[in-house]
Structure 1
Amino acid sequence: MAKTVRKRTIRKRVNRRKSKKSNLKKYILSMSIAVCLGIAAFFVIKGFFEEPESFDSSKYFVKGIDVSHHNPILNWDNVMEQDITFAYLKSTEGTTHEDRNYPFNYDLARKSNIKVGSYHFYTFALSGEEQAKHFLKTAKFNSGDLIPAIDVEHSPANPYSKDKEFVGTVVKELKIMENKLYEHFGVHPIIYTNRDCYKLYIKGNFPKNIIWMCDLHNEPSDDVNNWKIWQFSHKGELPGVDGHVDLNYYRYTFNEFKELLLP
């Protein structure tokens, strides 16, 4: 009788050891799967949030950049060597601010035969008419330049708000500025914006304006009416150019690109 009990005890110990080994294998397998999924998720998220540093599209061929005083004055001959077709330069902001690098970048870029355009950073709290006057007085506009652009985005000076009265005022003054530029040039200015500001201020209010859309993760959809320029990175790197520059594509062909030029 004692031998039988002993055999049963030994069998239980063996079964426990096998159970422990089995549980350990399952734990290791689960941890391995979790680690693999974590690594895969990291690279997916990293790829989504990481901005391109160069032009690598096989779909778009008309390349452009935009710069302001946040960038140094560029060596525009080097820029031209990178097959950059166009460049937008910040000239003004609000009713008094002038970009300190604008006059130098404008003249140097034109000498390098890059198609140049000027843009104004729109300030929500100020008169649209006064902002238009400031832009027209300060910026340079020549035949063959890009159609002037208005930059509409949130910033410390342009707070985000869904308040209907606030949004209505932003749109009203923007329409005044847009109309002043239209009267001056005979063409509607281009509007630069992003997804949030497009939905709040632009959509349905400016049907005749070409849209220059900033989207750092996805190509603009056809829900954005009349988008023609896509800013896809704030971290572009160009050989011979110090620091990061914003990278853009024109949506269509070199021949159709002429639609962006002042007569």
Structure 2
Amino acid sequence: MQARDNSHARGIDVSHYQGTIDWAKVRASGISFAFIKATEGTTYTDSKLAANLAGAKAAGIKVGAYHFCRAGIPGDAEKEANYFIQVLNSLGGIAKWDLPPALDIETTNNATNLTRTCQAWLSRVQATWNVQPLLYTYPYFAKSYLDASLGNVPLWYANYGVNQPADVAGWTRWQFLQYSDSGTVPGIVGPVDMNEFDGSEDELMGYELSVDDANKIIAFLSAAYNATSIPAAQDEFHRLANELRKASGQPEQ
């Protein structure tokens, strides 16, 4: 798999174990995303789910929801997926979340085929929201219970103290890496899981170009267009101006 990088965006994952979080302090410390525990099994909803969702989004932190899997067979996994979907829909649905939903699979429960169990949950959630979920797991579990057919599922990988995780099962890359379970972050009392995104904060956050900013840049391009008589240069200035119009939601000219 790819190595960690200092330019990558940093994040956390949280549940009720972190208590009441001061999300403004978390964001000010440089944390740009958070995975929030939503559900477990078919009956448990994390008591801090709604508060963590509201607090993190208000602070400008990208959020994703995760489900802790207790299922041992595909049929039970579908029931757990339905519960997860029901709970998130009660909070406004998948549109409230910025990051893909995630399945946390790290316990066997005497399962005979955990790969099929994971696939059942992932398929049910993807069919409901048309979003490809992530799969969270760790090295021993992936080696012991999961097979290569899951390699096309984006991986949220727990691997501590390693700069470049080895390939495992069907995965050759991670999308998110949980690199510590004992981080310290302002705004949170006690240890918290630390994560890294395979990309910069700008790539994670995205950038929405406002009409006002686009038009200011277009004005400079127009001046450059009028200052030259070279057709190729004029064509390029015109092309760039239209790209800015498209990026800001304006019609091309």
TM over 0.5: yes
Q: What residue number does 2:140 align with?
A: 196
Q: What residue number does 1:20 align with?
A: none
Q: What residue number does 2:18 align with?
A: 71
Distance 1:147 1:258 in 2: 13
One-letter code aligned to 2:112: V
Q: What residue number does 1:212 align with?
A: 156
- Secondary structure of residue in 2 paired with 1:70: helix
RMSD: 2.1
**Structure 2: any 5+ residue segments left out of the alignment?**
207-253
Instruction: Name which one, 1 or 2, has greater alpha-carbon Rg.
Output: 1
**Structure 1: any 5+ residue segments left out of the alignment?**
1-56
One-letter code aligned to 2:195: N
How high is the sequence identity, in percent, across the aligned residues?
29
Alpha carbons 2:72, 2:112 under 8 Å: kept: no
Deviation at 1:255, TM superposition (A): 4.5
Q: 1:153 aligns with which of 103, 106, 121?
A: 106
Q: 1:221 aligns with which of 156, 166, 178?
A: 166
- Secondary structure of residue in 2 paired with 1:123: coil
Distance 1:236 1:187 in 2: 30
Deviation at 1:131, TM superposition (A): 0.4
Which has the larger displacement, 70-79 or 197-206? 197-206
TM-score (structure 1 length as normaliser): 0.68
Distance 1:250 1:230 in 2: 7
Kindly report which structure 2 residues correspond to 1:101-250, keeping only aligned pairs within 5 A, or say none.
Answer: 101-125=48-72, 127-139=76-88, 140=91, 141-142=94-95, 145-154=98-107, 158-159=108-109, 166-168=111-113, 170-219=114-163, 220-223=165-168, 224-250=171-197
- Secondary structure of residue in 2 paired with 1:205: helix
Which has the larger displacement, 210-219 or 140-149? 140-149
One-letter code aligned to 1:78: K
TM-score (structure 2 length as normaliser): 0.70
